[in-house]
Chains A and B, each alone.
Chain A
Amino acid sequence: MKIAISSMENNEHSKVSDRFARSEYFIIYDHDSLSFTSVENTAKSAGSGAGGKAVKILGDLGVEVVLVPELGPKALEALQAFEIKSFQYPREKTVREVLYLYFEKKLPELFNSTSKGRH
């Protein structure tokens, strides 16, 4: 199972991002191989629709769970279409820390968007 986390930098010791679709990087944790990889988020600079595009990138990578700070309505719709679950993390943590929180089942699952879409 692959888990994606919105991150400020390209490694698992980085601070998590306070934005989902316009974060700098996604850190992908593969729970089968216990390894981390990083993906530069090309949706970040999209003029519009970054949410859908970011989810498409993660969906194409086979991600099944995302850990996010906030979630807009379009990103949520796209996550549901890709059958990706989303969980909300608290700010100011590192990628590793929020991943531990996820496995300890301390992160709430999101079923509704947390913010309105931005243009």
Chain B
Amino acid sequence: MKIAILSGKGGTGKTTLSVNLFSYLDKATLIDTDVEEPNSHLFLKGKLIKEKSVIKHYPKVNDDLCDYCGKCGDFCNFNAIIPTKKKVLVFHDLCHDCGGCSLVCPKNAITYVDKEVGKEFHIQVSENKLFLYGNLTVGEVSGVRIIESLKETTRNEDLLLIDSPPGTSCSTVAAIDGTDYCIICAEATPFGLSDMKMVVELLRAEGRNFGVVVNKCNLGNDEIYHYLEEEKIELLEKIKFDREFASIMADGELLINHSQYFRDKMANIARKVLGDKYDQ
């Protein structure tokens, strides 16, 4: 079973939920797909067993074959390839590696070159716990290749948790691709609700099953609960904000090791999402 934890708004508690749920379970694999700002690794100590380079391709134009027809530039949605008078400019940091420019080139003048866009790290946390995270190279625009690589590496795992990036853009879409269930970690603030609505829209468009955990439920207002009721979305759990929790997290510690309240919450979420077989 593949479960993504996502939020829309940043800072609602995706990573808190991911690392604690992962640590609570007997046997699981976690990937941190927030490759622009990975942080799950701050809470999970283990042994680095593998480091892997993630490659993207960007176009290279053969000037002997190119007749500057301009079709590649017209095709590129990201303006990564700009045909000029006597040469074709390639801005490889803008390239999303879709392969379109070589398809539309009538002269077959475009080939692709490899470029490292980031790294994948595999960490053995314990015998039954594998944790992977990716790190996008500074200056690169898209972490999608790294997320795809993390998911490819873990495609045969029995129980996979996916700590997803914030927002609803390409990287989030890549993170939720192929999941059986998504947990929205929301915040009961106007901003939290507004961003959650975009996530709901995305998950419905993608045909995903999902439920909501309202984190920091004692802050903000009641609007989120009315919304969930109106839209008939399952409220999986409510977790309160506590200064003590923030302090434990700031020390890089797991809440389940310090709070029975939090352990109970993780148990309930696991039961609701995974069913009885993972009940502990």
By a beta-carbon cutoff of 8 Å, the part of chain A in contact with chain B is: 43, 46-50, 52-53, 55-56, 59, 74, 77-78, 81-83, 119
- Please determine whether A83 and B78 come into contact, CB atoms closer than 8 angstroms: no
Q: Which residues of B contact A52 (CB under 8 A)?
A: 79, 82, 89, 91
Distance of A49 Cα from B76 Cα, bound (Å): 10
Chain A contacts for B233, CB-based, 8 A: none
Known: A74-B91, A77-B89, A78-B89. A49 touches B80 (CB 8 A): yes
- Interface residue from A49, A56, A81 paired with B78 (Cβ < 8 Å): A49
Residues of B84-99 at the interface with A, using a CB-CB cut-off of 8 Å, are 84-87, 89, 91, 94
In the complex, what residues of A have CB within 8 A of residue B134's CB? none
Q: Would you mind naming 16 contact pairs between A and B with Cβ atoms under 8 Å apart?
A: A43-B79, A46-B78, A48-B94, A49-B82, A49-B91, A49-B94, A50-B79, A52-B89, A53-B79, A56-B82, A59-B84, A77-B89, A78-B89, A81-B87, A83-B85, A119-B141
Q: Is B8 engaged at the interface, CB distance under 8 Å to the other chain? A: no
Report the bound CA distance from A82 to B87 in whole Å: 9
Complex CA distance for A56 and B80, rounded to whole angstroms: 12
> Does B13 interact with chain A (Cβ within 8 Å)?
no
The 8 closest A-B pairs by CB, nearest first: A49-B79, A81-B84, A52-B82, A53-B79, A49-B94, A48-B78, A52-B79, A82-B84
Whether B78 contacts A55 by the Cβ 8 Å rule is: no
Confirm or deny: B73 has a beta carbon within 8 angstroms of a beta carbon on chain A. Answer: yes
Count chain B residues whose beta carbon lies closer than 8 angstroms to a beta carbon of A: 15
Chain B residue at minimum C-beta to C-beta distance from A51? B79
Name the residue on A nearest B74 (C-beta): A56
User: Measured between alpha carbons, how far is A49 from B120 in the docked complex, in Å?
Assistant: 28
Fill in one digit per residue for B168-183: 1 if any A CB lies within 8 Å of its CB, else 0.
0000000000000000
Contacts of B79 in A (CB 8 A): 43, 46, 48-50, 52-53
Cα A53 to Cα B78 with chains together (Å): 9
Given contacts A46-B78, A47-B77, A56-B84, 8 further A-B pairs with CB under 8 A are: A48-B79, A48-B80, A49-B78, A56-B83, A77-B89, A81-B82, A81-B87, A119-B141
Chain B contacts for A77, CB-based, 8 A: 89
* Chain A residues near B141 (CB-CB < 8 A): 48, 119
- The answer to whether A56 touches B91, judged by C-beta atoms less than 8 angstroms apart, is no
Q: B80 to A78, Cβ gap below 8 A?
A: no
CA distance A78 to B80 in the complex (A): 11
Question: Contact: A81 with B86, CB < 8 Å?
Answer: yes
- With both chains docked as a complex, state the minimum distance between the C-beta of B83 and any C-beta of chain A, in angstroms: 7
State the CA gap A49–B94 with chains docked (Å).
Answer: 7
Q: Give the chain B neighbours of A50 by CB distance below 8 A.
A: 79
Note all chain B residues with C-beta closer than 8 A to A53: 79, 82
CA distance A78 to B82 in the complex (A): 8
Q: Given the known inter-chain contacts A48-B141, A49-B94, A119-B141, please indicate yes or no for A78 contacting B84, CB distance below 8 A.
A: yes
In the complex, are the beta carbons of B73 and A82 less than 8 A apart? no
Would A47 and B84 count as touching, CB distance under 8 A?
no
In Å, the complex CA distance between A82 and B79 comes to 16
Contact of A47 with B82 at beta-carbon distance under 8 Å, contacts A77-B89, A78-B89, A81-B89 already known: no
A55 touches B82 (CB 8 A): yes
A43: which B residues are within 8 A, CB to CB?
Answer: 79
